[in-house]
Every structure is written in C-alpha cells, then in structure tokens.
C-alpha cells in the first residue's frame, strides 16, 4: 500500500511539474519584450564600454527588439555579437518571464600598454590577449615602449600567454606580458616600477619611480630571481650610497649585480 502511494505521489508530482513548465513556456511565448536592461561591470576600474554601445548593438540586431515576442529573441546570437566587441571579455544575455531582456557585460582588464616603433599603441589584457586602444577611455596601466617592432596587425590575433615557440623569437609581447604580470602582482615592484623600456639590443630595462637609474634585466627569464637580487641590493647597497649613486643597475648576470656609477 505504501509503495503504491509513493508511486502515485511521484506520478502526480511529475504531472504537476510538466503542467507548470508548460504554463510558464506558454506564458513566456506570449510575452513581448518590454524592456532592455544592461549591466556593465566596472569593478576593475575600466570604462571602455558604455551602456549606449551595448544598447545599439542589441537594439539594431533584429531591426528592433522592443515589442517582439520575448521567446523569439536569440540570446546566444546577441551574446556572440557583444563578445566580439574588442573590450568585452564576456557577455551574458537572458530573458525574464516579465518580458525583460537582461544583458550583463564584463570588460577586459588591461595590464600593460605597448607603444610600438611605428607609433601604434595597444594593450595586453590579464589573459595575455592583445587589446586595441579605445577612443572613449584610457586605462592607467604599466607602459612599455622603446624598440618594440610588433605592429598591431601582426600581433592582434595572438595571446602572449600562449605563444608557440616559433613566435616567441619573433615578437616581444611574450616577455613584456610576463614582466608586466609579475610586477602587477608584486606589491613592492608594482609601487616602484613605472615603465618598461626595450633598448637597441632588444633588452628589457625597467624605469623606477624612486631613484634616477635604469634597471637592465635582459629578458623575462627568472624575473623573480633577478628582482630578488635587486631587492637585496636596494636594502644593503643603495641604503648606504644613496638612490642616485648609479646610472645603471644590471641584473642580467647570474648571482651578481653589476652597477655603473654616475659620472
């Protein structure tokens, strides 16, 4: 008897769920889109994307969305279109039973701005992807310049974090990204280093905020070890001689710091 009641209860519950889902589906299919709500996440401090930009992309996708049946709006298609915006990292589009189209937009986070020799500039974001500059907003991030011969059209499709070995010897963005990412995540160096410069020998130099000297690191290999050496030298060396005693501090060589005195 108990078994029969259990089976009957499950059957009744299943039928109820199907009826409710059918009612909701039927109700939603009859609803028209009455409102578009756009939420842009600015928590990373960037404002590359404005509400009007997204609204125009959504509104003109199918002549007009407002007044159309909410069930007929292709959310995945809209997501794909918004995700193609160069400053968007991810977009989510969903519909409510009240007839509201919700669009949530998450922006990319640039960590370094590169100025190449041909006068172009572009960003590398936190995932290593190349990101074009915006006419609407300039992000205050770490700057890399000097003898950087990587034009935007050559690197725009690349990810500095996942470069093939054949490309690493042809472009500088790999080392620049590793350097910028390390400095960004280290409180001391984030506060001390304000610029990356690539010299004629294609060696990386760091320009500090405190101290009138250049820090030659060569490449990004063992960058933590190199800057750990500099940290010790700052504490034991420059604390005694003064921050302007040397014009160049060279960290390229293993287990030593080579300095050039200021004339």
Tens of pLDDT, residues 84-143: 999 999 999 999 888 899 999 999 999 999 999 999 999 999 999 999 999 999 999 999
Q: Which of 126, 149, 256 is nearest to 199 (CA)?
A: 149
More confident residue, 170 or 118: 118
- The reported pTM is 0.81
pLDDT at 13: 53
Q: Which of 236, 263, 230 is nearest to 249 (CA)?
A: 230
Read off the tokens for 192: 């001390």
- Among 12-16, 82-86, 177-181, 207-211, the least confident range: 12-16
Three-state SS at 217: strand
Tens of pLDDT, residues 194-252: 999 999 999 999 999 988 899 999 999 999 999 999 999 888 877 777 777 889 999 99
pLDDT at 63: 61
- Token pair 């407002």 in the structure block, residue: 66
Sheet holding 121-125, edge to edge: 130-131, 121-125, 110-115, 142-146, 193-198, 204-208, 214-218, 246-250, 258-261
Q: β-strand 100-107 against 35-41: which pairing, if any? A: parallel
CA–CA gap between residue 32 and residue 39 (Å, rounded): 21
- Among 65-74, 96-105, 155-164, 193-202, the least confident range: 65-74
Q: Residue 81 above 50 pLDDT?
A: yes
Read off the tokens for 170: 């042809």
Give the H/E segment covering residue 143: strand 142-146
Read off the tokens for 234: 């700052």
| Count of residues making up the chain | 263
Q: Which of 66-80, 117-131, 163-177 has the highest mean pLDDT?
A: 117-131
Three-state SS at 105: strand
Contacts of 89 (CB under 8 A, 6+ apart): 106, 107, 108, 109, 125, 127
């Amino acid at each position: 008897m108990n078994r029969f009641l259990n089976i009957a209860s499950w059957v009744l519950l299943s039928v109820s769920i199907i009826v409710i889902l059918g009612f909701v589906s039927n109700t939603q299919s009859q609803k028209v889109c009455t409102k578009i709500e756009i939420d842009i996440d600015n928590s990373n401090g960037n404002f590359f994307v404005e509400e009007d930009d997204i609204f125009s992309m959504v509104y003109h996708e199918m002549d007009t969305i407002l007044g159309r049946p909410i069930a007929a709006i292709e959310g995945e298609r809209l997501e794909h279109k918004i995700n193609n915006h160069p400053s968007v990292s991810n977009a989510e589009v969903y519909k409510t039973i009240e007839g509201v189209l919700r669009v949530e937009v998450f922006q990319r986070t640039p960590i370094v701005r590169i100025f190449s020799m041909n006068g172009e500039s572009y960003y590398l974001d936190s995932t290593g992807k190349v990101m074009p500059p915006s006419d609407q907003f300039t992000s205050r991030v770490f700057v890399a310049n000097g003898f950087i011969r990587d034009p935007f059209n050559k690197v725009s499709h690349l990810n500095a974090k996942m470069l093939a070995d054949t490309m690493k010897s042809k472009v500088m963005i790999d080392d620049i990204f590793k350097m910028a990412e390390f400095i960004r995540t280290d409180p001391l160096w984030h506060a001390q280093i304000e610029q990356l410069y690539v010299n004629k020998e294609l060696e990386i130099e760091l320009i500090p905020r405190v101290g009138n000297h250049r820090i030659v690191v060569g490449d990004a290999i063992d960058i933590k070890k190199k800057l750990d050496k500099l940290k010790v030298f700052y504490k034991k060396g420059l604390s005694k001689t003064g921050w302007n005693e040397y014009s160049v501090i060279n960290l390229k060589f293993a287990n030593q710091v080579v300095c050039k005195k200021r004339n």
